[in-house]
Amino acid sequence: AVVAWCRALGGYLKRIDVYGHLVSAHVSNDYTFLNPAISNLTEMDFNPLDAYHHGQPERIIPLVAATADAGAAYNKPILITEFGGSPMAAGREHLLIEQHAALWAGACVPMSGVPMFWWWQVIDENDLYGRYAAIQTFMTGIDPRNALAKQVKPALGVSENGDPLLLKRYGALGTAAPETLRCYVHPVRFARGDAKLPVAAHLTVTVSGMTPGIFRVEVCETSTGNPVRRFDVRTADGALTVPLPPFSPDCAFKAHLLTPLAAKPAAAP
């Protein structure tokens, strides 16, 4: 009955709306409650849903990534239109950490926009508008409509002087096409209160399946979205390994192909 209602009402709205607004049916829960019969309707233009959860604020990061993966099955945009702690809210510190993490996770996975924070008064009371400006700055030059872009799981590593324990304290997610890449590198758990995470040094991020060549990399601070380091990296065996400068508590980077390299000729039989 719900599917039939969405089909009938969606078709009706499309017939009477001369302005061609997008039509959707909001899922009042997370991606695990997506109904394929509704999501696949031609009358539904995109899939809006929630991303509430219980537990630590960092849980929003894998939840955002899983939401993007779930949306890929329907070949139409997916958007988190509500998030922020549990449906009953959370403390101020929790919400501030989660909102920051969700914005950057959302910018670095293939979604139709960054997640939309439900507790809008927290944004206004704490003057968090600059966080959105930072995302806009970071996304300059990135076309999120790239049909070749897919979510990837970057491999974190440490260089010769790095601390292997960092690999348990940090995670990464990203979106890559053969010639472009954007990634968010984050602590598994953000510092609380006055505590500060130690500076992460000698971390590397590797993504496979990139076009052989030289890539221009811009590492950005998440407080402003501005680049703090630009450098070029050459692929090796189709993989791009980016050495990150020291950062705290998180960072993002984007890369694009600068100079393609010709493939090596096949060896003679």
Which range is least confidently modeled, 96-105, 225-234, 243-252, 254-263?
Answer: 254-263
83 three-class SS: strand
Supply the mean pLDDT for the chain.
95
Q: pLDDT digit string (tens) for 155-184?
A: 999 998 889 999 999 999 999 999 999 999
- Can you give the pLDDT at residue 46? 97
- Residue 173 pLDDT: 98
Q: With 80 as the cut, is the pLDDT of residue 266 above it?
A: no
Global pTM value:
0.94
**Long-range contacts of 86-93, Cβ-Cβ distance < 8 Å, separation of 24 or more:** 86/52, 86/53, 86/54, 87/50, 87/52, 89/119, 90/57, 92/122, 92/126, 93/192, 93/193
C-alpha distances in Å from residue 268, one per residue of 48, 237, 261, 264, 265: 54, 20, 21, 12, 9
Whether residue 105 is predicted with pLDDT greater than 90 in this model: the reply is yes
pLDDT value at residue 265: 60
Q: Is the pLDDT of residue 83 over 90?
A: yes
- Mean pLDDT for 35-41 is 97
Average pLDDT of the segment spanning 52-75: 96
Alpha-carbon span 42 to 10, nearest angstrom: 9
Residue 219 pLDDT exceeds 90? yes
Collapsing DSSP states into helix, strand and coil, what is residue 66?
helix
Q: Using only C-alpha atoms, what is the Rg of the chain? A: 20
Q: Is the pLDDT of residue 106 over 90?
A: yes
What is the percent of the chain with per-residue pLDDT over 70, rounded to a whole number? 97
Residue 71 has pLDDT above 70, yes or no: yes
DSSP H stretches of helix in 108-247:
120-125, 129-138, 166-169
Report pLDDT for 193: 81
Residue 262 has pLDDT above 90, yes or no: no
Helix, strand or coil, per DSSP, at residue 107: helix
Question: What is each CA distance from 80 to 46, 64, 163, 197, 211, in whole angstroms?
Answer: 11, 8, 36, 29, 31
Sheet holding 155-158, edge to edge: 155-158, 203-207, 240-243
Angle at 233 between CA 180 and CA 156, to 5 degrees: 80
Weakest-pLDDT range from 20-24, 134-138, 159-163, 265-269:
265-269
pLDDT category at 267 given cuts 50, 70, 90 is low
What is the mean predicted confidence (pLDDT) over 54-74? 96
Give the tens place of pLDDT for each residue, 183-215: 999 999 998 887 888 899 999 999 999 999 999
| List of residues 6+ apart from 55 with CB closer than 8 A | none
Decide if 57 contacts 98 (C-beta within 8 A).
yes
Q: With DSSP H G I counted as helix, E B as strand and the rest as coil, what are the percentages for the chain, rounded to 5?
A: 30, 30, 45
Strand partners, 207: 240
